[in-house]
Structure 1
Amino acid sequence: MADRPAGNGSWFNASSEGGGGGGEDDDDNPFVQPGWQVALWAVAYAAIVLVSVVGNAVVIWIVLAHRRMRTVTNYFLVNLACSEAAMAAFNTLINFTYAVHNVWYYGLFYCRFQNFFPVASVFASIYSMTAIAVDRYMAIIRPLQPRLSATATKIVICVIWVLALLLSFPQGYYATTAQLPGRVVCMVDWPENTTLTYEIPYRLSVMLLSYVVPLLVIGYAYTVVGITLWASEIPGDSSDRYHEQVSAKRKVVKMMIVVVCTFAVCWLPFHIYFILQHFNEELYQKKYIQQVYLAVLWLAMSSTMYNPIIYCCLNDRFRIGFKRAFRWCPFISSSEYEGLEMKSTRYLQTQSSMYKISRMETTVTSVAGNPEEELEELGKTKRLSVDLTSNGSSRRDSKTVSESLSFYSSTLS
């Protein structure tokens, strides 16, 4: 088993030679590239690491450092950002150097980690997207059902990672290094060399569980949600509050659909590449297959850097957070940063007193906010609204004009 081609059977470590080309007798390594090609690919892969790590770190900061942003959906986005940033930081450049040189420089431990962690990260990412889709489905289709609490959300995230680690365990367990003439390789050495018994079923299972099944669930959820939202106009209801709620929900769904579609497009060629090698091995012996693999791998790894860009473009709060994080840039203004923070009770009372009215039949207080806010946040807002209607000696009717807090209507829940 140790004399098998480099990376053969390794889902993330398959270099061009490991993908079926080269073989044991290719000591001269026909896949050596000119220096300018290596330099171009190095810049492309380095860009993934830089954009992904920085962008996802900013996303994590925006959510965790701002109380108003700590919602169910955003907790799952933090989990998604963590898995993508980690994969970009720990695996992208390692994959690149192995694919270019066809030599493993990093030892047995990292060989196992390199085969184990990326699979777990992909599982965690797609399951986080699935959890968001299910949460959106429950919030919009079944609004009377209890929403996930912060504690329950964290438990779900832990379950996601436990499941991801279990599913990726075989890939890391059977990973090993082997000495070939003149070089060391990293590969997955399946038991008894029975590829048809272990390798193909595992790869098909990975593809089904990390790609096909989650996308089917997500597709169904967002299809039902989309039909409901875009067909939810109530005849005669022209209230601003109603339209703000529908608009906010649509924005969230649009953003998550873009995120999921980006993931699907980036990873489809990668899955196809590894499935086809079992049906047409001769194709993987061509010299150009290394360029194909590098392009397919780059597209898959690049999925880790797109989400922060999507959040920034399609969500007001994340956009303000990114402006704040990059306020040192001369062409970026962060003047709206105060809108990202959760207003204090005293601040809301001050704002409310500016718009009080004295003659109404009933006491009505409306505080504009995110229609998808957490239940505990809604409870606090309701209690705050009651407090704002009292001025000490008599009952007065009050309202907070929606313009003062209209920013919150576009927030992400």
Structure 2
Amino acid sequence: MNISYSNDSSGGYSDVCVEYYREPVWLQVLFGIIFGLITVFGIGGNAIVCYIVLGHRRMRTVTNYFVVNLAVSDQLMAVMCVNFTFYSTLYMTWPFGPVMCKAVSFFQSVSVSVSIFTLVAISMERYMAIIHPLRPRLGSTGTLLVIGFIWISSGALGLPTAIYTSVYVENGITYCSEEWDQRGNYSFATMVLQYFLPLAVLAMAYSRIGIRIWARKTPGEMEANRDRRMTESKIRLVKMFAVVVFLFAICYLPIHTFNIVQDVYQYVLCYQYIRIIYVTVVAVAMSNCMYNPFIYCWMNSKFRDGFKNVVRCLPGVRRYRDRQQANQSGSFRGLKRTSTLNTHMQS
């Protein structure tokens, strides 16, 4: 979205609302650091998640395959969208050419769709496992088919952005914008399909799961102990994905609110500091691509162990550990020599 108006045949607003206010340098640097951190953690953290799942056989479960799919979509956002969107939003120009204009818009839509559709798929998988445990479970082939369907449907939903997004020049400034007659209807439809409808489904699914888990009573002492451990494991997993869903909802709420406000009252774009507000809500939305690895590490012991093993293998950490071990070994040898010497003196 460009914060400007162009003359149109419908008698809409003119380009008097184009803002020439330039943010102070310190604020530009601050935004640059924020978006840079989003890129680094979004790529690195999700790459570690993929390695933990795909590199260890015991981690290759149906749920974790969906976790990998979620990580890939977040990496796509971090690589293809974060920095390009930051530059074009802050400096109100698009110097990257028409191909990247279409690609960034398309992959941004695809990434958001894949993320929320994957969260819905995870909730459905958990729902069937907990609410209907005796029914056939989703296997590896079925999981891959679901993941394939998620990407195909997300690509189809984002296809209009690739078709109708283009580069144009207005008042000597180059913009990348989506211009077509059905833009308003399409934006509303994608908002419903990528945010409100999936969140409604997720809320109902996790509410039903929560009621089933916390209300379950287990008869018998042995069965109680066994079922308690299983229930605690399910609760931890449900809590983890509930936090993932909650953060997704919180991160994308400001940008959707902003879009609704500007659709209802377009003169809000004439506000002097509206670009700062927009860059902020964009940063909040795109920061969602870096949070999930931290959530997994915090709330899942297996992922936490995996992250610890990866961190131990980092060159700087490895050299520090080797140095510490060498110092401990040297101290032990010195202590052993001192003990031996004391023994000889006493004898």
- Shorter-chain TM range is 0.7 to 0.9
Task: Give, in whole Å, the separation in 2 of the partners of 1:41 and 1:261.
Answer: 24
CA contact 2:218–2:227 (8 Å) conserved in 1: no
Secondary structure in 1 matching 2:134: coil
Q: Which residue of 2 aligns with 1:291?
A: 276
Cα distance between partner residues in 2 of 1:38 and 1:267: 22
1:315 aligns with 2:305: no
Is contact 2:5-2:16 (8 Å) kept? no
RMSD: 2.1
Percent of aligned pairs with the same amino acid: 37
Structure 1 portions without partners, runs of 5+? 1-13, 334-413
1:183 positional shift: 2.2
CA-CA distance at 1:244 after TM superposition:
1.3
| Cα distance in 2, alignment partners of residues 76 and 237 from structure 1 | 35
Query: What secondary structure does 1:187 align onto?
Result: strand
TM superposition score normalised by structure 1: 0.72
Further displaced range: 174-183 or 65-74: 174-183
SS at match of 1:184: strand
Alignment of 1:46 onto 2:36:
yes
Q: What is the aligned counterpart of 1:139 among 126, 129, 136?
A: 129
**Residue of structure 1 equivalent to 2:217:** 233
- Partner residue in 1 for 2:333: none
Unaligned runs of 5+ in 2: 8-12, 322-347
User: 2:127–2:209: 8 Å Cα contact kept in structure 1?
Assistant: yes
Q: Is the 8 A contact 1:19 1:277 kept in 2?
A: no
Judging by fraction of residues, say which structure has more helix: 2
Counterpart amino acid of residue 190 in structure 2: V
Q: Are 2:189 and 1:205 equivalent residues in the alignment? A: yes
Structure 1 residues 196-275: aligned runs within 5 Å? 198-239=182-223, 240-275=225-260
- Deviation digits for residues 197-240 of structure 1 (CA, Å, limit 9, x no counterpart): x1221111111111111111111111111111111131434543
Change beyond 3 A, Cα 1:15–1:94:
same
Shift of the 46–15 alpha-carbon distance from structure 1 to 2, 3 Å rule, reads farther
Matched-pair contact (CA < 8 Å) for 1:229–1:246: yes
Q: 1: distance between equivalents of 2:306 and 2:41?
A: 16
Query: Are 1:15 and 1:100, in contact at CA under 8 Å, matched by a contact in 2?
Result: no
Give CA deviations for 1:261-281 in whole Å, capped at 9, x if unaligned. Answer: 000000011111112112111
8 Å CA contact retained: 1:63, 1:70: yes
> 1:81 corresponds to which letter in structure 2?
A
* SS, match of residue 234 in structure 1: coil
Report if the CA contact (8 A) 1:91-1:114 is conserved.
yes
Separation in 1, partners of 2:113, 2:62? 19
Other-structure match for 1:166: 156
**8 Å contact kept, 1:177–1:185:** yes
- CA distance in 2 between counterparts of 1:25 and 1:60 reads 48
- 1:151 aligned residue: 141
How far, CA to CA, are the matches of 1:18 and 1:231 in structure 2?
55
Displacement of 1:23 in angstroms is: 6.0
Q: In the superposition, relative to structure 1, how do residues 126 and 19 fare at CA in structure 2: closer, same or farther (>3 Å)?
A: farther
Aligned residue runs from structure 1 range 28-67, under 5 A: 30-67=20-57
The one-letter amino acid of 1:212's match is F
Check if 1:119 corresponds to 2:104. no
Q: Which amino acid aligns with 2:280?
A: A
Report the AA paired with residue 60 of structure 1. C
Match runs of 1:76-91 below 5 Å: 76-91=66-81
Q: Deviations over 1:11-55 (max 9, x none)?
A: xxx2444799x964678x513212111001100111101111100
In the alignment, structure 1 residue 302 sits paired with structure 2 residue 280 = no
Looking at structure 2, the residues matched to 270 and 19 of structure 1 have their Cα atoms a distance apart, in angstroms, of 22
Distance in 1 separating the partners of 2:5 and 2:254: 17
Partner SS, residue 276 of structure 2: helix
Identify the range of structure 1 (99-108 vs 176-185) with the bigger mean alpha-carbon deviation. 176-185
1:93 paired with 2:83, answer: yes
Q: Equivalent of 1:75, from 45, 51, 65?
A: 65
Runs of 4+ aligned residues of structure 1 deviating over 4 Å after TM superposition are 329-333
Secondary structure of 1:278's match?
helix
Aligned to 2:261: 276
Aligned residues: 312
CA distance in structure 2 between the aligned counterparts of 1:23 and 1:37, rounded to whole angstroms: 29
Q: Please give the secondary structure, in 1, of the residue aligned with 2:296.
A: helix
CA displacement, residues 71-128 of structure 1 (integer Å, 9 cap, x when unaligned)? 1110011000000111111110100100111110111111111211111111100000
CA gap 1:152/1:226 in 2 versus in 1, 3 angstroms = same
1:199 aligned partner, one-letter code: R
> C-alpha distance in 2, partners of 1:183/1:16?
12
Aligned to 1:394: none
Is the Cα contact below 8 Å between 2:17 and 2:270 reproduced in 1? Answer: no
TM-score by length of 2: 0.86
